Amino acid sequence: MRHGVCYTAAIMAFKNTLRNGQVRNVIFQEKGFFYGAALEFNIVEQGDSPQEVMLLLDNAIKGYVESAQKNKLSISVLNQEIDPEYEALWNYGRKGGVKGNRHIYSTSSQQIAALVA
């Protein structure tokens, strides 16, 4: 029975699948540059403006999900361990704050179903 409990807990830990779930994003400024991170995918982009970073991050996320689907990858690639630094930035951003020398420009989440054709 113990094996079943562990298995169930492991399955429940994966909230994203190849068709459903969400990815959280945070856009922030640090030392004159803007950065965007897709938390559950561990994707980070850099640019000169928040708009540029949003576009780069959106394209990277779509390509990432499409590649995972096309190659029938494990759902673990869509449920990576989140960097605590980006998690903290996302949480501060949800409150409209600044963390240290980083100004959080925006936080959002995207539905995986909306990213796929």
Tens digit of pLDDT for each residue in 71-84? 999 999 999 999 99
Per-residue model confidence (pLDDT) at position 115: 80
More confident residue, 13 or 69: 69
Per-residue model confidence (pLDDT) at position 7: 35
Per-residue model confidence (pLDDT) at position 117: 61
Sequence-ordered list of residues with C-beta below 8 angstroms from that of 54, at least 6 positions apart, any chain? 27, 36, 106
Cβ-count burial of 11 within 10 angstroms (0-12 exposed, 13-18 middle, 19+ buried)? exposed
pLDDT digits (tens, 9 = 90+) for 21-45: 999 999 999 999 999 999 999 999 9
Per-residue model confidence (pLDDT) at position 14: 58
Of the candidates 9, 36, 24, the one whose C-alpha atom is nearest the C-alpha of residue 78 is 24
The whole model's pTM is what? 0.83
More confident residue, 13 or 70: 70
* pLDDT surpassing 80 at residue 100: no
**Pair type for strands 102-111 and 43-47:** unpaired
Contact assessment for residue 43 and residue 37, using Cβ atoms and an 8 Å cutoff: yes
Spatial distance between the Cα atoms of 59 and 23, rounded to a whole number of angstroms: 13
